[in-house]
Structure 1
């Protein structure tokens, strides 16, 4: 089907139905029951962008298997039907994954075969988004970048999020090869240190050293790309060759740990919020990261996606009952105070 205009942001991350099982430290099942939930890195990235952008500025392809849950489809549509492109897959089951917990340890495994989404799938919808987000191994990222380069007149801002289980030193050569074509590289802190083989404690100092190492490889067009390392309660560290490094606070940090219920999807939502922030601020990276931190703050307050409500007269949206613009002001003021101390 033809799309009237190009959306600003698209993700080629996946949609997943998450299932859960819980056991104690000895492997004995517990009584905790969590129903299947909407999941997938692409889904959370799209929602992170949706906190700031209207649905027609966002696009995500969702593979709809023969068993796609009707209640989940209804929930997705509440965020705005224009942001989803459902791709019928009658010969496949909907992608599902099991999140199994043994005490505090979490294991993740797919229960059904995955269906990859590629840049060419977006082109079949006749769209060329201005910002493209993807989550995969460095080797797979090379294939994605190659597809984009083959399309005349399409030079999107690329936001690359390495997949956790391929953040290993063996993937570093592949990462170095694609970095010139990446606008923003954003692993989390553990992934960044693991890619570089840095067996050191997670501290701000060590994160800063990792970022300098990535910058030394060269990133982005004319070596002007950014590294953003998401570091949980420590905040996010942002730097490029021309911009000095800066830490941006997590909205819910160490002093507000009680607000953190489940961090699943927070990093993905951060990057969707980042993309939206770049549009809203005219590519002001540090302001965009403030948007990103606010997007992540709504995701971690509950299991699953945050709740969006729209006031009918004003058409203004709140998330989990709060205004993201007010959180943005709060975080900006906090950041300004920290920098002046």
Structure 2
């Protein structure tokens, strides 16, 4: 790939989080948001010089912290920055109910500074091969239509891979028909298993059942995913791994890198699951570019998620000669370890 091309772009938000954990001092100015974690997931697999092929348009306020700006610059990605000098940056409050990083509440504490397709106008972002969105079904229909029209006007005839995370608050039975319609305009639909269940009025407290998730996914596939019906659904299921399925791919379950489903990873250094699903999709997008295979791409996603789980906020990157280490580990080494696991050998022998 020409390093002047753009491979992956996230239209997700950048959010400065305050994190409250019982009996601990609040943590402030933690880099978060769907765009931050999705871009991380993609960046893990794109070491220099390919890091420049990753793009992230961000919308920030006058109070955006210098150290976080420096961190993003250190990734060497293509940042398109729009700054509002008279408004604060998007901030959120994440409150955990206990010290297990389980039940939590989230709310925005400042007006959201959104990112839209206008950020791509006149830039290399408009020719990106993959786009990541977190949006409501009505929004994704409108935004994809706008994006494709802009590309056509710019003389870009190829269709990008469009990955859609449905907005969690939009995953309710009232929005099911809108979600079915929206799925036809994207290439990859990726709710988590709880969001998928809520769309179909399934009790969120019900016991986890792979068969039930596959049944719900089939309903989406019967309705159609992608403009020609050949799109994929990737259900992110936390400690249960993920499901990849399409009309051409029978249900395939992959284990998480950390968890009881992956041999040798039961005693895992999991700290905070926040952003792991977003990171999964960033890794998935790059994995699909590199392999052209949805199941193989999900292996990249599972490994990307593992790095998001190991700390609050972002993993630490250091350079060791010509090799990048994230949290002291080579991403390529971890990917090979994951794909050589007994659970995955049947898929990639």
Q: Shared fold (TM-score greater than 0.5)?
A: yes
User: For each residue in 1:117-155, what CA deviation from the matched residue of structure 2 results, as whole angstroms up to 9, or x when unmatched?
Assistant: 112321243432111100011111112122123221352
User: For each residue in 1:280-314, what CA deviation from the matched residue of structure 2 results, as whole angstroms up to 9, or x when unmatched?
Assistant: 11x111111111111001110111111111223x2
What does residue 301 of structure 1 align with?
Answer: 310
- Structure 2 CA distance, aligned partners of 1:50 and 1:300? 16
Following superposition, the deviation at residue 179 of structure 1 comes to: 1.7
The DSSP-based 3-state class of the residue aligned with 1:86 is: strand
What does residue 87 of structure 2 align with?
Answer: 92
Following superposition, the deviation at residue 158 of structure 1 comes to: 0.4
The DSSP-based 3-state class of the residue aligned with 2:28 is: coil
User: For each residue in 1:15-59, what CA deviation from the matched residue of structure 2 results, as whole angstroms up to 9, or x when unmatched?
Assistant: 010012234xxxxxx233323210000010001000011321111
Following superposition, the deviation at residue 213 of structure 1 comes to: 1.6
What does residue 166 of structure 1 align with?
Answer: 170
Following superposition, the deviation at residue 105 of structure 1 comes to: 3.2
The DSSP-based 3-state class of the residue aligned with 1:127 is: helix
- Structure 2 CA distance, aligned partners of 1:285 and 1:197? 28
Q: Does residue 1:260 correspond to 2:270, yes or no?
A: yes
What does residue 137 of structure 1 align with?
Answer: 136
What does residue 53 of structure 2 align with?
Answer: 57
Structure 2: gaps (5+ residues): none
- Structure 2 CA distance, aligned partners of 1:75 and 1:207? 38
Following superposition, the deviation at residue 339 of structure 1 comes to: 6.0
Q: In structure 1, which of residues 327, 334, 341 is the aligned counterpart of residue 334 of structure 2?
A: 327
Equivalent residues in 2 for 1:170-319 (5 A)?
170-199=174-203, 200-254=206-260, 255-256=265-266, 258-281=268-291, 283-312=292-321, 314=322, 316-319=323-326
- Structure 2 CA distance, aligned partners of 1:272 and 1:62? 16
- Structure 2 CA distance, aligned partners of 1:34 and 1:290? 32
Task: Check the 8 A contact 2:240/2:255 in 1, yes or no.
Answer: yes
Following superposition, the deviation at residue 101 of structure 1 comes to: 2.5
TM-score, length-scaled by structure 1: 0.91
What does residue 27 of structure 1 align with?
Answer: none
User: For each residue in 1:171-207, what CA deviation from the matched residue of structure 2 results, as whole angstroms up to 9, or x when unmatched?
Assistant: 1111122222110000010011111212243222221
Following superposition, the deviation at residue 256 of structure 1 comes to: 2.4
- Structure 2 CA distance, aligned partners of 1:184 and 1:70? 35
- Structure 2 CA distance, aligned partners of 1:140 and 1:232? 26
The DSSP-based 3-state class of the residue aligned with 1:329 is: helix
- Structure 1 CA distance, aligned partners of 2:104 and 2:16? 17
User: For each residue in 1:48-90, what CA deviation from the matched residue of structure 2 results, as whole angstroms up to 9, or x when unmatched?
Assistant: 000011321111112221111111111222211x332221211
Using the TM superposition, name which of 58-67 and 268-277 deviates more: 58-67
The DSSP-based 3-state class of the residue aligned with 2:253 is: strand
The alignment's C-alpha RMSD in Å is: 1.9
TM-score, length-scaled by structure 2: 0.89
Change (3 A) 1:289 1:49: same
Q: In structure 1, which of residues 38, 45, 50 is the aligned counterpart of residue 38 of structure 2?
A: 45
Structure 1: gaps (5+ residues): 24-29
- Structure 2 CA distance, aligned partners of 1:296 and 1:234? 13
Using the TM superposition, name which of 249-258 and 217-226 deviates more: 249-258
The DSSP-based 3-state class of the residue aligned with 1:92 is: coil
Task: Check the 8 A contact 2:89/2:113 in 1, yes or no.
Answer: no
Q: In structure 2, which of residues 24, 47, 70 is the aligned counterpart of residue 31 of structure 1?
A: 24
